[in-house]
Amino acid sequence: MRPETWETFRKAAEILDFSVIGLLTLQLCLFLVVFVAASVAVHQRPPFASPALLWSRYAHIAPPITVLAPAYNEAATIIESVEALLALEYPAFEVIVVNDGSSDDTLQKLVDRFDLRRAARLCDRAAPHAPIRGFYASPKVPRLLVVDKENGGSKADAINAGINASRTPIICITDADTLVEPDALLRAVWPFIDDPLTVAVGGTICIANGSIVDGGRVVEARLPTNFLALVQALEYQRVFMVTRVGLSQLGAMAIVSGAFGLFRRDAVMEVGGYSLGTVGEDLELVVKLHRHFRESKRPYSIRFVAEPVVWTQAPESLRDLGRQRARWQRGALETIWKHRSLALNPRYGTVGLISFGQIILLDVIGPLVAVTGYVFVPLSWAVGVLSHAHFMAFLAAVFSLGILMSVLSLVFEQVILGRIERSRDLATLGVVAVLENFGYRQLCNLWRIQGWWQYLRRREQWGPMRRKGFKRE
């Protein structure tokens, strides 16, 4: 290789090295801002209230809620999930399960278990969705309504059908594979009661893999035995215990998880319900709400409350997990492109500056720079183009940030929820906080590159994830 070519290659390798380190430094700075905000939120949070105290305080003024659960091929978990929803401790609520053209026996299991029969229901037409084939209800279970519809190709389509069929001022969006704790609605609804400007509230999602379930409830929380599920349990803690607590404090929460979120129905109707043609419907709806209220110059609030807890199954195979992460990546890219005018725009406050800044760093630029760095930085060091000092700085930046964020999330989980009772479990998660940086994070970035490719190809699909059912007592 000619000397000038070698020198060009060396400079390119150094630029890439510094680009990765610079990106991680920006991510660290943003994380520290969110962490400080989360620390303030934890310091200001009210004392944890018992279910009995919540009931006495809010039951007589709590607004009626409709719980919407879209279901697509959820036969393995649908009965446990619906039983958990029907057992919620809330004064006035209805459960609407939307069977989105399942090809398995999801609908038949519901009909058999709850003795459902054909019924009539008047619906709005504000939110678009595929045609409804029929409604099912039973006088034996007056709180339950099942909507059977043609497959619309997306979760958003199914949710819109449920929104149109709902009749209450507050709607709760959840998943059919999710177990909602009995007091979750009472814990999540208080921002709507205390602050009429509240339009959406999110809660904490925990991993149910390995836990003991009885009657649609998690009766004993255990760590997953599957390594992939175990790493995801740590990820969920990091996201909910630090990131969303902090972003909520900053007024910059851009996503209410599709597994559990409460919304003011009239606000959702104002923006036309969930947008079709996207797989990131939960992110896109919240961003759309932010944009709508800020552009109309109306005060509003979107909150995160850590105490409402729901449980979901995490993928336990590389194939299913890869599909999920690629889908999440597509959703983020679709949303940021559709609402690109918000990006780093002071007109939209902390939503544009912090939330979209985080999405750009983590979802748009992050995977591309990271994967390129994984390949070329070690290669450049191996052939002598990149100095040992630069290579070690690259490794330190890549691994230190991930470990720091995971350890801090464990601390927050113990402070806010305290669900890890055994020191052995805490030590296990501490080990996982280190191990996930050696292979797992790199895989996640590769899956996100796959999501980039699917986004460029305009691939839109809800897509299945295999369920194995909850572990029963």
The overall average pLDDT reported for the chain is: 86
Token pair, residue 303, equals 């909150």
Convert the pLDDT of each residue in 140-151 to its tens digit. 999 999 999 999
Cβ neighbours, 10 Å, residue 268: 24
Q: Which residue has the tokens 């919620």?
A: 88
Statement to judge: residues 272 and 354 lie in one domain = no
Region of 469 on the Ramachandran plot (φ > 0 left; ψ -120 to 50 alpha; else beta)? left
Within 13 Å and on the Cβ side, how many CA atoms surround 224? 21
Token digits for 305? 């409350």
Query: Taking a C-beta distance cutoff of 8 angstroms, is the pair 284, 460 a contact?
Result: no
Within this chain, do residues 178 and 318 fall inside the same structural domain, yes or no? yes
In a domain, 286, yes or no: yes
> Are both 169 and 197 inside the same structural domain?
yes
Tell me whether residue 25 is in a domain.
Answer: yes
**Other beta carbons less than 10 A from residue 337's beta carbon:** 11
Amino acid (one-letter) located at 288: K
In tens, the pLDDT along 181-208 reads 888 999 999 899 989 999 999 999 999 8
Q: How far apart are the C-alpha atoms of 215 and 81, rounded to whole Å? A: 9
Better pLDDT: 261 or 404: 261
Both tokens of 427, joined, read: 């030590």
Whether residue 83 has pLDDT greater than 70: yes
pLDDT at residue 148, rounded to an integer: 97
Above 80 in pLDDT, residue 335?
Answer: yes
Question: Do 412 and 245 contact (CB within 8 A), yes or no?
Answer: yes
Do 297 and 275 reside in the same domain of the chain? yes
C-alpha–C-alpha distance, residues 238 and 411, integer Å: 10
Domain boundary pick from 347, 365, 383: 347
Assess if residue 455 is contained within a domain: yes
- Vertex 114: Cα angle to 183 and 54 (nearest 5): 10
- Contact status, residue 405 vs residue 238, Cβ threshold 8 Å: yes
Residue 1 pLDDT class (50, 70, 90 cuts): low
Same-domain status, 206 and 334: yes
356 and 254 in contact (C-beta within 8 Å)?
yes
**354 vs 254: CA distance, rounded Å:** 10
Pair 328, 360 in one domain: no
In a domain, 473, yes or no: no
Cα(229)–Cα(231) distance, integer angstroms: 5
Query: Which CATH number belongs to the domain containing residue 198 in this structure?
Result: 3.90.550.10
Would you place residue 100 in the very low, low, confident or very high pLDDT band (cuts 50, 70, 90)?
A: very high
CA atoms within a 13 Å half-sphere pointing along the CA-CB vector of 10: 14
Which whole number is the average pLDDT over 445-451? 94
Asked whether residue 470 is domain-assigned, the answer is no
272 shares its domain with 185: yes
First to last CA, the chain: 67
DSSP states of 212-260: EEETTEEEE----SSHHHHHHHHHHHHIIIIIIHHHHHTT------TTE
Structural domain includes residue 466: no
Parent domain of 323: 48-347
The model carries a pTM of 0.88
Handedness of CA 91, 63, 282, 104 (dihedral sign): positive
pLDDT at 471: 57
Residues 320 and 393 in one domain: no
The total of structural domains in the chain comes to: 2
| Amino acid symbol at 170 | I
472 occurs within a structural domain: no
Partners of residue 217 on adjacent β-strands: 214
Q: Which helix (H) or strand (E) holds 7?
A: helix 3-44
Write out the two tokens for 298: 């109306």
Rounded mean pLDDT, 253-267: 94
Q: Given 296, 312, 347, which residue is the final one in a domain?
A: 347
Residue 445 CB: number of other CB atoms within 10 A?
19
Which class for 391: exposed (0-12), middle (13-18), buried (19 or more C-beta within 10 A)? middle
Q: In this structure, are 373 and 400 located in the same domain? A: yes
Decide which of 347, 370, 398 is a domain's last residue: 347
Between strands 132-137 and 117-119, the pairing is antiparallel
Instruction: Quote the Cα angle for 71-75-81, to 5°.
Output: 65
Looking at the structure, tell me whether residues 36 and 54 fall in a common domain: no
132: three-class secondary structure by DSSP: strand
CA dist 459 → 285, 325, 455 (Å): 20, 14, 6
Q: Is 90 exceeded by the pLDDT of residue 117?
A: yes
Residue whose tokens read 């007056």 = 142
- pLDDT given for residue 376 in this prediction: 77
- Shared domain check, 127 and 217: yes
pLDDT band, very low/low/confident/very high, at 419 (cuts 50, 70, 90): low
Residues 422 and 326 in one domain: no
**Separation CA 340–CA 334 (nearest Å):** 10
In a domain, 465, yes or no: no
- The yes-or-no verdict on residue 400 having pLDDT over 80 is no
